[in-house]
Structure formats: structure tokens, C-alpha cells
A = this chain, B = another copy of it.
């Protein structure tokens, strides 16, 4: 493990599954739709699912100006976790059952992106991340919409990935036990887009279907 990894980020259980490389961290974040944002509100833990995306060297979150996230999290410590479940790991013993997964935990102080141009750039990155090239086809953002949107960011400096892959890790003495053992893959995939029936007719730009 890298010496510069801060103690609160270090993977403790199954430490050999930890990975602190930015390329690993970026790949897990870039595949995510939501992250689970944890913060302390009046001494109590709160976890809220939020859309997350990467822009430059930060994990970004956006929210309504009036939201609790904006009022409580700005300038305070948060912990954001992203998880992709890849499979059920069915072992010979209950004890050795597991899951295959790729997860990410980011610790940091949540910062409000105040500058309107930076905020717009971050929102464009969000739209174009999920639907490449779509931002330019949209009805342009109004000043009041931008003003009603809070963009928050957490540096990716203190982050850890944790990954499990492969077959069950049964004990050697269990090898001959007569039970089915292996992996049940869990797959997440994008389906066929469903057009809004109120859309004007014609061949419109911004379609998520690659042509």
C-alpha cells in the first residue's frame, strides 16, 4: 500500500482487495450512476443516494439549492461510496460465500462550486457523460435554472477502491464437498431507449441511440 494513503481511507478488512490507483478509482466512478453520500447531520449519520460524476480531479454531486445536502454538506467532511455488484460467489460453506464487486470510497471536504462558468462546465460534463454530445442539443440552460442548482465537489485525493473477482475461496478440506459452487453473474446494462410520446415528430438530435 502507498505510504501516502491516509489512515481513514485505507482498506482494513481484506486489505489485499484495496487499490489506490487513480485509474482504478476513475474507472469505477465513471461507470456509476449514483453514489451514496454520507454526512453527519446534528451528530447523526445520513446517507443519501445522489447522481455522481467525475470532472477533472473531483467527484461531483448536484442538488437543488433548497436541499439539505447543499445546506449541511458545504464545507464539511463527507464520505461517498460507489458500488458495482458483479456476481454472487457461491462457495461450499456458508462462511466462504461472497460477492464479486468493485467499490469506491472517497473521503473529503465537500466544496461548493461557486463560479457560474465552472458550474455550467460541470453540468455539461454530467449530461455529456451519460449521453455523449447531448448538451449542445438541449434547450439552453436559463440563468434561474443555474441559480437554483448547487454543484458540490469532493477531491479524489483520499479515495480507495476495493475489488473482488473470481471463484469462491473455499478451504482446501472442503474441495470435495458435493455442492454446486461457482459464480452467478450480476449484469447491469442499458436497455432500448423509450421515446417520450409527447416529442415532436421527425428525426431529432440528441438521441441516445447510436446511429
By a beta-carbon cutoff of 8 Å, the part of chain A in contact with chain B is 8, 12-13, 33-34, 36-40, 43-49, 51, 63-64, 66-68, 77-81, 83, 85, 87-88, 90, 92-95, 97, 99, 101, 103, 105, 107, 123-124, 127, 130-131, 134-135, 137-139, 141-142, 145, 148-149, 167-168, 174-200, 202, 204-208
Instruction: Specify which chain B residues have a CB less than 8 angstroms from the CB of A63 in the assembled complex.
Output: 13
A81 touching B208, Cβ below 8 Å: no
B186 touching A33, Cβ below 8 Å: yes
Give the contacting residue for A99; candidates B34, B38, B185; CB below 8 A.
B34
6 closest A-B pairs by CB: A185-B191, A36-B36, A38-B47, A180-B207, A38-B38, A49-B83
Known: A101-B49, A190-B185. A137 touches B36 (CB 8 A): no
The residue among A47, A90, A99 with the most chain B CB atoms within 10 A of its own CB is A47
The residue among A142, A178, A205 with the most chain B CB atoms within 10 A of its own CB is A178
22 A-B contacts (beta carbon < 8 Å): A8-B46, A13-B67, A33-B85, A34-B85, A34-B99, A36-B47, A38-B79, A40-B44, A40-B45, A45-B78, A45-B79, A48-B105, A49-B103, A88-B208, A95-B148, A139-B177, A181-B198, A183-B196, A185-B190, A185-B193, A186-B189, A187-B189
